Amino acid sequence: MPESPETHVIDYRAAEQLLAARDPRGAVQLLDSVIAAHPENTAARLLRARAFFAAAQLRPAELEFELVLEREPDNAFAHFALARTFERSGRPEAAKRHFRLAAALDPRPEYLKAARFDSGASGQDD
């Protein structure tokens, strides 16, 4: 049975549900066909990156997050998630850079906290 655009939308939505149900490997499997048919689909790539991260497949997650950021350099969530990936990979300096980019792009409390831009820091503790 040939795949249709509707099939890819269904697979994408099902992958979201699988990720929410803590089945990241199942999500990746569904997203592989979506991305093969639509390699430019940044939303599908971001979801697959999240699934790779949840499955502790850190190198594939890193590559997907980086690809998303090539296309959307102002995507604060992708910077934050890439930073978490670097953090889990034992690369704190790379993580710090992307935490700070995420916080600069979107001052959400969790981004600011991860970037260590908390409101109590004056930067004058020399």
53 and 40 in contact (C-beta within 8 Å)?
no
64 and 46 in contact (C-beta within 8 Å)?
yes
91 and 107 in contact (C-beta within 8 Å)?
no
* DSSP symbol at 90: T
SS3 content of the chain, % helix, strand, coil (to 5): 70, 0, 30
What is the separation of C-alpha 25 from the centre of its chain, rounded to a whole number of angstroms?
15
Tens digit of each residue's pLDDT, the chain (126 residues): 456 778 999 999 999 999 999 999 999 999 999 999 999 999 999 999 999 999 999 999 999 999 999 999 999 999 999 999 999 999 999 999 999 999 999 999 999 999 986 544 434 333
